[in-house]
Amino acid sequence: MLMYQASRMHRDVMDGRVRLPQIGAVNATDSPSLPWIVVDGAAQEIPPVSAYLLDRMLGDVSPLTCRSYAYDLLRWYRVLWAVDVGWEQATEAETAVLVGWLRSARNPQRKGGNNAPRPGTVNPTTGKPMLRSGYAPATIAHNLSVLHDFYAFHLHHGRGPVINPVPENPGRRAALAHRSSEEQPARHRRGRLRQKVPTRQPRAIPDDQWNALFQQMRCARDQALLACYISSGCRASELLGVHLGDIDWQKGQLWVISKGTRAREPVPLSPEALAHLAAYLDEAGLPREGGAVWRTRRGEERPLTYWAARRILQRATDHLGMNWTLHDARHTAATRMARDPTEVELVES
């Protein structure tokens, strides 16, 4: 009888009929060795998660990676709390519940208005598919990889279940082991519970749509920000971290902290992007000593966040009926550089 009740609860959570308990949180700390922790419903730190995240930080992952792993593990603990299973007793059945819930639940990041296109359809203007309402296959794959590594870490130290609750995929490991980057990847079967992750195709914003998008920018800051995105090809987090001393006006480049290597590296800027950047600084004034170049325009001056920068583009795309994103600007820059490395003109005069 107890086995049947547990199985019924597993299926209810898997199918989305039972909501995950919205307890626990990911909290920032002032510790460089452990910048993020996961707490339970009583606001108490979860030691197994902290031990794993500390090990990852000692392995030289970035604080942002630590944060991402923390949210994956918080989601896992919420599944375990919903089915009343301790982390040491977790099996493949609970992993299946996690995957089922991710496949059926709505992603809170997928927010649209009443007139928003239906998720999964193709935008008629851009030809780009709309994001699905749930979690993407890549998100599920990332969560499973983090979870497998979490249990592998504790198994190494003699803690947790005897068998890793996330199924292994020996075929994939064998196919990717000791492979040259110039070789075509060998075919392999997906492991159990793994999703079909589509191959991403490069996507560039057409010139006419880019010009229409640029014209929707409301102020000098937004024009400069978008021009620098499309000119440099750097990530949003890299560009938003630029300070005044990182601008090389003579050579036409920015110095950014690379997300991957965390090294300070130069990226190119077009003459048009530099002109828009100069116009923005002339209008807004120079930042404070050590302050970020990109700042808020209302209220107390604060560094511009990723979410605020994303919203700038969303307002323009919603008005035009498009679905381009900040990452598409990065694809566009790479496409233009590949087409002609000397081509840096970005917008119509």
> Residue 53 in contact with residue 69, Cβ under 8 Å?
yes
Local confidence pLDDT in tens for the 349 residues of the chain: 444 555 777 877 877 777 888 899 999 999 999 999 999 999 999 999 999 999 999 998 889 899 999 999 999 999 999 999 999 999 999 999 999 998 888 777 665 555 556 666 788 888 787 777 778 888 999 999 999 999 999 999 999 999 999 998 766 666 556 666 667 666 667 778 887 777 777 788 888 998 999 999 989 999 999 999 888 888 888 999 999 999 999 999 999 988 877 889 999 898 999 999 999 999 999 998 888 999 998 888 899 998 899 999 989 998 998 888 888 888 888 888 777 655 544 444 3
Domain count, the chain: 2
| Same-domain check for residues 153 and 60 | yes
Quote the pLDDT of residue 68.
94
| Same-domain check for residues 165 and 85 | yes
Q: What is the dihedral of CA 8, 10, 11, 13, to 10 degrees?
A: 120
The CATH number that applies at residue 278 is: 1.10.443.10
Q: Which range of residues forms the domain containing residue 259? A: 207-339
User: 311 vs 207, 305, 324, CA distance in Å?
Assistant: 22, 10, 12
Residue 93 CB-density burial (10 A; 0-12 exposed, 13-18 middle, 19+ buried): middle
Identify whether 194 is part of a domain.
no
Cα–Cα distance between 223 and 208 in angstroms, integer?
16
| Same-domain check for residues 214 and 303 | yes
Identify whether 102 is part of a domain.
yes
Whole-prediction pTM value? 0.77
| Same-domain check for residues 139 and 215 | no
181-236 pLDDT tens trace? 667 666 667 778 887 777 777 788 888 998 999 999 989 999 999 999 888 888 88
Please state whether 83 falls in left (phi above 0), alpha (psi between -120 and 50) or beta. Answer: alpha
38-80 pLDDT tens trace? 999 999 999 999 999 999 999 988 898 999 999 999 999 999 9
Structure tokens at 79: 């599944």
Identify whether 177 is part of a domain.
no
**H-assigned helices in the chain:** 2-14, 47-58, 63-83, 92-104, 137-156, 170-176, 207-215, 220-232, 236-240, 271-284, 306-320, 326-339
| Same-domain check for residues 38 and 144 | yes
Task: Show Cβ contacts of residue 61 under 8 Å, excluding neighbours closer than 6 positions.
Answer: 69
